[in-house]
Amino acid sequence: METNPSEIKRLHAQIEGYVQGVGFRYFTLEQARRLGLTGWVRNLPNGRVEVSAEGSQQDLEELLRKLYEGPSGAYVRDITYEYLAPTGEDFSFRVTF
C-alpha cells in the first residue's frame, strides 16, 4: 500500500552507547530497507550513530523500536530523536561516511 505524501515524515536520531564497530549502521540499513524507508545512517566522530529516515509515522516508529534493540554486540544507552518535515531528497536508504 502506497503512503500518501502528506503522511510522510522524517525521523532524525542520534544513538548513544556502544554503537560503532558492531555493525549498527548495516543493521539500520537492513531494517530501513525492510520497512521501505529512504534516508541515510552514519557514524559520528563523538562515537554516536546518526540516522535520517523518511517514511510513514508507523514505519518510522518501528525503525525507532529496532534502533533501541540494535544488533547483537551493541549497547544502546540513549536515543535522541525528533520528527521533522520530509526533504524528499533521498530515493533509497544508504550508509554514508
The predicted-structure confidence for 42-70, as pLDDT tens digits, reads as follows: 999 999 999 999 999 999 999 999 999 99
Domain residue ranges in the chain: 7-84
Supply the pLDDT for residue 97: 86
CATH class belonging to 7-84: alpha beta
Mean pLDDT confidence for 6-18: 95
d(CA 53, CA 31): 11
- Which residue shows C-alpha cell 540516522? 51
Mean pLDDT confidence for 18-25: 98
Please return the burial class of 30, using the count of CB atoms within 10 Å of its CB with bins 0-12, 13-18 and 19+: middle
Percentage above 90 pLDDT, the chain:
90
Q: Which residues are catalytic?
A: 25, 43
